[in-house]
């Protein structure tokens, strides 16, 4: 999948230690175009259709602006 989405810099799924039913996806994109392209991929289309069976509401999306930091 990574080779098909060169603008996706990080796509990491986490499970809460306190609440195993809580899952967080942390995603970093090169730019807005990479984010839009990711949303148009076939696998994301399948994922959106499966959200109702994979996840319990409420689903929350929070967009963040990076202030600083680094990744290896």
- Its pTM stands at 0.77
Q: Are 6 and 31 in contact (CB under 8 A)?
A: no
- Is residue 70 included in any domain, yes or no? no
Cβ proximity of 29 and 10 under 8 Å: no
Number of structural domains the chain divides into: 1
The per-residue pLDDT for 72 is 74
Burial 15-34 (b: 16+ CB within 10 A, else e): eeeeeeeeeeeeebbeeeeb
CA 20 to each of CA 28, 47, 65: distance values in angstroms, whole numbers, following the listed order:
23, 20, 27
Position 59 scores a pLDDT of 84
Residue 48 lies in a domain: yes
pLDDT single digits (tens) 26-72: 999 999 999 999 989 898 888 888 888 888 888 888 999 989 988 77
> What residue numbers bound the domain in which 18 lies?
2-54
CATH code for position 32: 3.30.70.100
């Amino acid at each position: 999948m990574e080779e098909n989405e060169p603008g996706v810099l990080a796509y990491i799924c986490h499970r809460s230690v306190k609440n195993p039913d809580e899952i967080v996806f942390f995603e970093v994109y090169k730019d807005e175009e990479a984010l839009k392209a990711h949303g148009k991929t076939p696998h994301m289309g399948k994922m959106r259709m499966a959200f109702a069976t994979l996840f319990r509401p409420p689903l929350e999306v929070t967009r963040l602006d990076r202030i600083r930091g680094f990744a290896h």
